[in-house]
Chain A
Amino acid sequence: MSEAFEPVIIGFTCNWCSYRAADLAGTARVKYPPNVRLIRLMCSGRLDPTFVLKALAQGADGVLITGCHPGECHYIEQNYKALRRYLLLRRTLTQMGIEPGRVKLVWASAAEGVKLAKEITTLVEEIRALGPLNWPGRVKLATGENGTAVSQHTQSIPEEVTA
Chain B
Amino acid sequence: MSDNGSGKPKFAMYWAASCGGCEIAVLNIGEKILDVDAAFDVVFWPVAMDAKYHDVEAMPDKSITLTLFNGSIRNKENEHLARLLRQKSAILVAFGSCATEGCIPGMANFSSTEEIFTAVYDSISTDNPDGLRPQSEWMTPEGIALTIPEFYPMIKTLDQVVDVDYYMPGCPPESHQIAAVVDLVIKALDGKATLPPKGSVIGAGGSTVCDDCPRQRNVKKINKFVRIHEVANVDPALCLLEQGILCNGPATRNGCGALCPSVGAACVGCYGPAADVVDYGARLMTAVASVIDSRDPDEIEAILDGIPDPAGSFYRFNLAHSLLRAGKPAVSGD
**Contact in complex: B285, A143 (CB < 8 Å):** no
**Contact in complex: A158, B131 (CB < 8 Å):** yes
- Which residues of the other chain, A, contact B282 by a CB distance below 8 angstroms? 48-50, 52-53
**Contact in complex: A91, B304 (CB < 8 Å):** yes
- Which residues of the other chain, A, contact B295 by a CB distance below 8 angstroms? 70, 77, 80, 83
**Contact in complex: B153, A149 (CB < 8 Å):** yes
One of A22-30, A115-123, A124-132, A133-141 at the interface = A133-141
**Contact in complex: A84, B289 (CB < 8 Å):** yes
- Which residues of the other chain, B, contact A144 by a CB distance below 8 angstroms? 152-154
- Which residues of the other chain, B, contact A89 by a CB distance below 8 angstroms? 285, 289
What 1/0 flags go to A32-44 for Cβ under 8 Å of B? 0000000000000
**Contact in complex: A87, B330 (CB < 8 Å):** no
- Tell me the complex Cα distance, A91–B318, Å: 18
The answer to whether the Cβ of B6 comes within 8 Å of any Cβ in the partner chain is no
**Contact in complex: A142, B112 (CB < 8 Å):** yes
**Contact in complex: A58, B141 (CB < 8 Å):** no
The answer to whether the Cβ of A2 comes within 8 Å of any Cβ in the partner chain is no
- Tell me the complex Cα distance, A52–B133, Å: 38
What 1/0 flags go to A144-159 for Cβ under 8 Å of B? 1100011111110110
Contact (A150, B150) CB under 8 Å given A50-B278, A95-B310: yes
- Tell me the complex Cα distance, A142–B112, Å: 8
B interface residues, tally (CB under 8 Å): 52
- Which residues of the other chain, A, contact B310 by a CB distance below 8 angstroms? 88, 91-92, 95
The answer to whether the Cβ of A31 comes within 8 Å of any Cβ in the partner chain is no
A interface residues, tally (CB under 8 Å): 45
**Contact in complex: A83, B297 (CB < 8 Å):** yes
In the complex formed, the residue of A with least CB distance to B138 is: A157
- Which residues of the other chain, A, contact B327 by a CB distance below 8 angstroms? 143
**Contact in complex: B278, A54 (CB < 8 Å):** yes
- Tell me the complex Cα distance, A112–B322, Å: 37
In the complex formed, the residue of B with least CB distance to A56 is: B324
**Contact in complex: A162, B150 (CB < 8 Å):** no
**Contact in complex: A153, B117 (CB < 8 Å):** yes
**Contact in complex: B130, A158 (CB < 8 Å):** yes
**Contact in complex: B153, A142 (CB < 8 Å):** yes
The answer to whether the Cβ of B24 comes within 8 Å of any Cβ in the partner chain is no
Q: B residues touching A (Cβ–Cβ < 8 Å)?
A: 110, 112-114, 117, 130-133, 135-136, 138, 141, 150-154, 156, 278-279, 281-283, 285-286, 288-290, 292, 294-295, 297, 300-301, 304, 307, 309-312, 314, 322-330, 332
A and B contact pairs by CB, cutoff 8 A, 8 listed: A48-B282, A49-B281, A49-B286, A84-B294, A136-B332, A139-B330, A152-B113, A157-B138
